[in-house]
C-alpha cells in the first residue's frame, strides 16, 4: 500500500562505544592544574631547562672560541712568565714563582669568561629581540635570571678545569684548601656572571660591555696581585691595592691553592660575598621589574 506522506526521518543510529573514550576522560580524574603564579612551577621549570640548554649550547657549539682560546692564552702566560722569569724571580712568599702565578691566572681567565659570555648573550638577545620570547614564556623572574647566568658559569668552569689540568701538573701547584677554593670560585663566578647580565641589560651598543671588561675588569685583575705579592709594594700602592675588590678574590683563590694569601681568607671571602650578593640582587631586580629588557 502506497504512503501519501513521507516517513519521518529516522535518527541515525550511533553505536554506544562512539564517544565513550571522551566521556571517560571527562568523567575520569580531573586535570592536574598548575600552581598559581607566573605560569606555574611545572612549566616554569621546563622553561628554565630550555634556557639552560640554549645558553649551554651557545658555549659548546663554539667551544674553540669560548673555551679553548682562553685556555691557550692563559697557558702561554704561565709558560712565558712562570718559566722564563723563574730564573730571576725564584720565590715569592716562599713559593716558586711559577706556582705563585697559577691561581691568579686561573681567576683572571674564569671571571673574564663569566662576564663576557653573559654580557654578550643578554645584549644580543635584546638587540635581536628574541628576549621577548623568554619574557613571554611562563617562567618566574628568578628562573630567567638563573637561566641566563648559567651559560657564563658553565663556560668559566670548563676553562678553569681545562687550565688547571694543564697548569697544575707542569708547575706542581698544590691544592691545599679545596673547600676554600670551591667557595672562592663560586662567589667569584656569581659576582661576574651577574655583573655581565646587568651590563648586557644596560648596554646600548656592543662596545659598552667591552668597555667594562677592557677598562675596568682586566686592569683591576692585573693590579690585584696576579703576578706579584701586594705585601711587597711600597706605600701608598700597598694601601691602594686593598681598595681593589678583585684583590680579595685573587687572594681567596690563592689561599685555596697554596694555603697562603696576603690577607685573611675570611676577609677575602667576606668582601667577595659582599660584592656578589648585591650585584646578583640587582640583576634579579631587573628581571623582576622588566626594566630595559626590551631594546
Q: Is the pLDDT of residue 43 over 50?
A: yes
- Give burial (CB, 10 Å; 0-12/13-18/19+) of 222: middle
Q: How confident is the model at residue 236 (pLDDT cuts 50, 70, 90)?
A: confident
Q: Are 144 and 228 in contact (CB under 8 A)?
A: no
Q: Is the pLDDT of residue 3 over 90?
A: no
Q: Is the pLDDT of residue 270 over 90?
A: yes
169-to-1, 49, 99, 102, 260 alpha-carbon distances in Å? 109, 36, 11, 11, 20
Model pTM? 0.81
Q: In the prediction, which pLDDT does 206 show?
A: 83
Residues 201-216: pLDDT tens digits?
999 888 888 889 888 8
Q: In the prediction, which pLDDT does 102 show?
A: 93
Q: Is the pLDDT of residue 40 over 80?
A: no
**More confident position, 20 or 134:** 134
Distance CA 215, CA 138 (A): 38
E-assigned strands of 4-131? 91-92, 95-96
Q: In the prediction, which pLDDT does 292 show?
A: 81
Helix (H, G, I), strand (E, B) or coil at 92: strand
Q: In the prediction, which pLDDT does 254 show?
A: 95
Distance CA 212, CA 116 (A): 10
Q: Is the pLDDT of residue 1 over 60?
A: no
**More confident position, 265 or 29:** 265
User: How many other β-carbons are positioned within 10 Å of the β-carbon of residue 243?
Assistant: 7
Residue 91, C-beta contacts closer than 8 angstroms, at least 6 positions apart: 97
Q: Is the pLDDT of residue 179 over 90?
A: yes
**More confident position, 89 or 41:** 89
Q: How confident is the model at residue 29 (pLDDT cuts 50, 70, 90)?
A: very low
Q: What is the mean pLDDT of the chain?
A: 84
Q: Calculate mean pLDDT across residues 234-257.
A: 91
Q: In the prediction, which pLDDT does 12 show?
A: 52
- Residue count (the chain): 295
Q: In the prediction, which pLDDT does 295 show?
A: 56
Q: In the prediction, which pLDDT does 36 show?
A: 39
Distance CA 119, CA 156 (A): 14
Show me where the domains of the chain are located: 40-289
Q: What is the dihedral of CA 121, 51, 164, 61, to 10 degrees?
A: -70
Distance CA 189, CA 295 (A): 26
Residues 119-159: pLDDT tens digits?
999 999 998 888 888 888 888 999 999 999 999 999 999 99
Q: Are 94 and 106 in contact (CB under 8 A)?
A: no
Helix (H, G, I), strand (E, B) or coil at 182: helix
Q: How confident is the model at residue 42 (pLDDT cuts 50, 70, 90)?
A: low
Q: Calculate mean pLDDT across residues 45-65.
A: 89
Share of the chain above pLDDT 90, in %: 49
Q: Calculate mean pLDDT across residues 225-246.
A: 86
**More confident position, 27 or 34:** 27
Q: Are 151 and 121 in contact (CB under 8 A)?
A: yes
Q: How confident is the model at residue 241 (pLDDT cuts 50, 70, 90)?
A: confident
Amino acid at each position: 500500500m502506497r504512503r501519501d506522506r513521507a516517513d519521518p526521518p529516522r535518527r541515525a543510529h550511533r553505536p554506544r562505544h562512539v564517544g565513550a573514550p571522551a566521556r571517560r576522560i571527562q568523567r575520569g580524574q580531573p586535570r592536574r592544574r598548575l600552581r598559581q603564579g607566573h605560569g606555574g612551577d611545572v612549566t616554569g621549570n621546563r622553561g628554565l631547562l630550555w634556557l639552560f640548554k640554549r645558553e649551554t649550547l651557545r658555549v659548546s657549539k663554539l667551544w674553540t672560541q669560548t673555551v679553548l682560546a682562553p685556555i691557550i692564552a692563559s697557558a702561554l702566560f704561565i709558560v712565558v712568565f712562570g718559566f722564563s722569569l723563574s730564573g730571576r724571580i725564584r720565590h715569592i712568599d716562599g713559593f716558586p714563582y711559577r706556582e705563585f702565578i697559577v691561581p691568579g691566572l686561573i681567576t683572571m681567565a674564569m671571571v673574564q669568561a663569566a662576564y663576557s659570555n653573559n654580557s654578550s648573550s643578554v645584549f644580543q638577545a635584546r638587540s635581536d629581540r628574541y628576549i621577548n620570547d623568554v619574557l613571554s614564556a611562563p617562567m618566574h623572574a628568578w628562573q630567567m635570571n638563573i637561566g641566563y647566568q648559567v651559560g657564563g658559569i658553565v663556560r668559566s668552569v670548563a676553562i678553569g678545569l681545562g687550565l688547571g689540568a694543564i697548569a697544575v701538573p707542569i708547575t706542581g701547584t698544590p691544592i691545599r684548601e679545596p673547600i676554600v677554593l670551591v667557595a672562592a670560585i663560586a662567589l667569584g663566578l656569581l659576582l661576574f656572571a651577574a655583573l655581565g647580565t646587568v651590563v648586557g641589560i644596560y648596554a646600548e651598543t656592543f662596545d659598552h660591555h667591552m668597555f667594562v671588561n677592557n677598562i675596568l675588569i682586566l686592569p683591576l685583575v692585573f693590579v690585584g696581585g696576579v703576578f706579584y705579592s701586594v705585601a711587597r709594594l711600597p706605600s701608598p700602592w700597598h694601601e691602594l691595592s686593598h681598595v681593589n675588590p678583585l684583590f680579595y678574590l685573587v687572594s681567596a683563590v690563592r689561599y685555596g691553592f697554596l694555603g697562603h694569601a696576603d690577607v685573611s681568607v675570611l676577609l677575602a671571602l667576606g668582601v667577595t660575598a659582599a660584592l656578589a650578593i648585591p650585584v646578583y640582587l640587582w640583576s634579579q631586580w631587573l628581571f623582576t621589574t622588566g626594566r630595559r629588557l626590551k631594546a
